[in-house]
Amino acid sequence: MTINTITTSPFPDQKPGTSGLRKQVKVFQAPHYLANFIQSIFDSLTSAEKTTLVIGGDGRYYNREAIQVILRIAIANGYKHVYIGQHGLLSTPAVSVIIRKYKLNGGIILSASHNPGGPDGDFGVKYNVSNGGPAPETFTNKVFEHTKTIARYLIVEGDDIPLDDAGEYEIAGTRITVIDSVSDYADLMEHLFDFDKIHSMFNSGLFSMAFDAMHAVTGPYAREILVKRLGATEESIMNGTPLPDFGKGHPDPNLVYAADLVALMNQKLQSPDLGAASDGDGDRNMILGRQFFVTPSDSLAVMAANAHLLPGYRHGVCGIARSMPTSMAADHVARRMGIKCYETPTGWKFFGNLLDAGLINLCGEESFGTGSDHIREKDGLWAVLFWLNLIAEKKQSVANIVHQHWQGFGRNYYSRHDYENIDMTAAQAMLSDIQTLLPTLSGRAWGDNLVMAADNFSYRDPVDGSLSENQGIRILFENESRIIVRMSGTGTQGATLRLYFEQYQPPAGQLDADTQTWLAPLFAIVEELIQVKQRSGRSAPDVIT
């Protein structure tokens, strides 16, 4: 088979963000655009790192076509063995499982995570390295530099590889294996959790759940694990068929975009005992009880405090990591356990070094992501199974488990306000203004909120010594309250300004107040400092979690 060398020229906008390169579908469909980026990835690897590869995605629009292009470029670049998920589907956690299980050089994940899909939606490409985690900044910066000067890419011609049946093919010396998308991942989950105990809980007829796959990649995974292996009813799965446009929905598991699930869980009568949702590529999760929302920050803290109860974590927790905007609830658990809690920038790749070095075995972000050392990605269904196993073990409701946690560790009232798709210039001006104010804030008081420190967060990696600066504005108060202001790096249009608010109450304090009411004084401080509503043109946040 002939290897063709295609002359091309650079695109100026191929800088990967925190989760790879994300653009609108129409951008990726432009001639040479996808091929340029893939060739830049391959050219940034050594020859030893271009032997084995896995490719898969969340099934969004352009997923199948992109796989065929990437496969042809991989063959032309001399890969010996390429694994592809059946139907072109692989969740992001499953890619990490497969890389680690089969000791592959890396993987290409086609997803824009929780961003909308369809012809007018978003698409994304992310490269994961041999530990199963996202490529570090040193590598993605190398890729970006190559995209600026690329002049050619290599590709072979030929018929498309069938993706809908498992099987093996060989093309130009490259072995291609279309694998079952679910089984390797499901087998690992069965090793980590007490499936017999969870199955008995479902079989008792006294427990029910609802899992919203949001017409994204986790539908097949949920059917195999929750229904076939654990005994949940088929009706437990909502929106379980992956669709290229996610059923015209927004596959982001939060209180706004998973509205049907939230409404079901808030019913006064006959709501399920556990509600859960996952996002486009399966790495995020939302956990709900009856009329009760578990913040991702609280979920991480509860997991850390109870991990020793579950089979895969009997050895306990050696360390925890959380992203800087995530609440400090996990810090209180770590302090009680006598272990370290690391504060990292936003982006799962920052957890990889800590996990590989054995400094932590549990980590999480406020943006609905939690995970452990079983892989090097956040893992939505893993989190759901953790909660199922915990409920089966403790024989308590979701709300009771969290309330018991607050009574032991205190409560971190916490909320994130997202102003989505606002004018980029206005968002940058707000960040610039608050940056300018930082030196004046220390010692300033708003009622009981006395500023202890204010800075732009920087992180020195304790493993490799790398420095990441300008990771978000922090205003820290003496009463353990915090305000965080930063821009999201996951959107493809306009800007998303994210504001985070937190205040700690000890176990003897007020633990049952309404979160938005309790944090209102902190909202007023930000509004006074940078006039968010006026300058964003919004009367309220687009999403509150």
Interval 167-190: pLDDT, tens: 999 999 999 999 999 999 999 999
What CATH code is carried by the domain that includes residue 118? 3.40.120.10
Average pLDDT over residues 403-418: 97
Residues 198 and 339 in one domain: yes
Q: How far is CA 391 from the centre of its chain?
A: 24
Q: Tell which residue, 538, 545, 344, has the closest CA to residue 430.
A: 538
pLDDT digits (tens, 9 = 90+) for 211-239: 999 999 999 999 999 999 999 999 999 99
Q: Residue 538 belongs to a domain with what CATH number? A: 3.30.310.50
Could you give the angle at the alpha carbon of 62 between the alpha carbons of 142 and 17, nearest 5°? Answer: 30
Q: pLDDT digit string (tens) for 140-171?
A: 999 999 999 999 999 999 899 999 999 999 99
Confidence band, pLDDT 50/70/90 cuts, at residue 545 = confident
Task: Of 183, 191, 189, give the one whose Cα is nearest residue 85.
Answer: 183
Read off the pLDDT of each residue in 403-425 and give the average, rounded to a whole number: 95
In one-letter notation, the amino acid at residue 284 is R
Over residues 99-110, the pLDDT tens digits come to 999 999 999 999
Mean predicted confidence (pLDDT) in 117-136: 96
Side-chain-side CA neighbours of 230 within 13 Å: the count stands at: 31
Q: Are residues 160 and 304 in the same domain?
A: no
d(C-alpha 481, C-alpha 413), whole Å: 9
Taking 80 as the threshold, does the pLDDT of residue 491 lie above it? no
- Which of the listed residues 380, 409, 438 is the one where a domain comes to its end? 409
Kindly report, residue by residue over 503-535, the tens digit of the pLDDT: 999 999 999 999 999 999 999 999 999 999 989
User: How many other CB atoms are there within 10 angstroms of residue 12's CB atom?
Assistant: 7
pLDDT at 489: 61
Per-residue pLDDT, 543:
87
Q: How far apart are CA 185 and CA 198, in angstroms?
A: 18
Taking phi over 0 as left and psi of -120 to 50 as alpha, with beta for the rest, 11 belongs to beta
Question: Can you tell me the distance from the alpha carbon of 285 to that of 168, in angstroms, rounded to the nearest whole number?
Answer: 34
Q: Is the dihedral of CA 484, 297, 487, 36 positive or negative?
A: positive
H-only helix segments in 102-182: 137-147
**Are both 398 and 486 inside the same structural domain?**
no
Output the six-digit token pair for 420.
């989505």
Residue 421's pLDDT is: 87
- Provide the percentage of residues in the chain whose pLDDT is more than 70: 99
Q: Domain range spanning residue 89?
A: 3-181
Residues 34 and 157 reside in one and the same domain = yes
pLDDT tens per residue, range 321-337: 999 999 999 999 999 99
Are the C-beta atoms of residues 478 and 488 closer than 8 Å to each other?
A: no
Question: In the numeric block, which tokens belong to residue 265?
Answer: 């869980």
Model pTM score: 0.94
51 burial level (CB within 10 Å; 0-12, 13-18, 19+)? middle
pLDDT tens figures, 31-66: 999 999 999 999 999 999 999 999 999 999 999 999
Whether residues 202 and 310 share a domain: the answer is yes
Pick from 386, 409, 432: which residue ends a domain? 409
Yes or no: say if 104 and 92 are a contact pair by the CB < 8 Å rule: no
For 253, the token pair is 């598991």
**Dist. CA 8–CA 238, nearest whole Å:** 44
pLDDT at 494 over 80: no
> What's the pLDDT band for 269 if we cut at 50, 70, 90?
confident
- Please give the pLDDT value at position 493: 62
- 436 pLDDT tier (thresholds 50, 70, 90): very high
Query: Comparing C-alpha atoms, which of 415, 515, 434, 535 is closest to residue 475?
Result: 434
Q: Reduce the DSSP state of residue 203 to 3 states and report it.
A: helix
Return the residue matching tokens 């596959």: 251
Asked whether 105 and 52 are in contact (CB, 8 A), the reply is: yes
| pLDDT for residue 110 | 98
Q: What is the pLDDT of residue 347?
A: 86
Rounded CA separation 223/137 (Å):
36
φ, ψ dihedrals at 393, nearest 5°: -75, -45
**In the predicted model, what is the mean pLDDT of the chain?**
95
Q: What burial letters (b/e) apply to 351-375, b meaning 16+ CB within 10 Å? A: bbbbbeeebbbbbbbbbbbbbbbbb
- Confidence bin at 482 (pLDDT 50/70/90): very high
Same domain, 462 and 476: yes
Amino acid at 37: F
Q: Which residues of 318-330 are buried (b: 16+ CB within 10 A; e: fewer)?
A: ebbbbbbbbbbbb
Among the listed residues 40, 91, 113, 536, the single catalytic one is 113
Same domain, residue pair 129 and 243? no
Is residue 496 domain-shared with residue 535, that is, in the same domain? yes
Question: What are the structure tokens assigned to 400, written together?
Answer: 């009771």
Q: Does residue 490 register a pLDDT over 70?
A: no
Q: Among this protein's residues, is 113 annotated catalytic?
A: yes
pLDDT at 492 over 60: no
91 and 202, same structural domain?
Answer: no
Distance CA 333, CA 352 (A): 21
Provide the 8-state DSSP code for 469: -
Q: How far apart are alpha carbons 22 and 40 in whole angstroms?
A: 15
**Cβ neighbours of 157 (radius 10 Å):** 10
Between 367-371, 491-495, 539-543, the lowest mean confidence (pLDDT) is in: 491-495
Mean pLDDT over 353-369 rounds to 96
Any idea of the CA torsion for 526, 438, 366, 300, to the nearest 10 degrees? -120
3-class secondary structure, 451: strand
CA distance 246 to 219: 11
Domain count, the chain: 3
Same domain, 176 and 259: no
CA distance linking residue 460 with residue 467, whole number of Å: 5
Pair 143, 274 in one domain: no
Identify whether residues 445 and 526 lie together within a single domain: yes
Length of the chain: 545
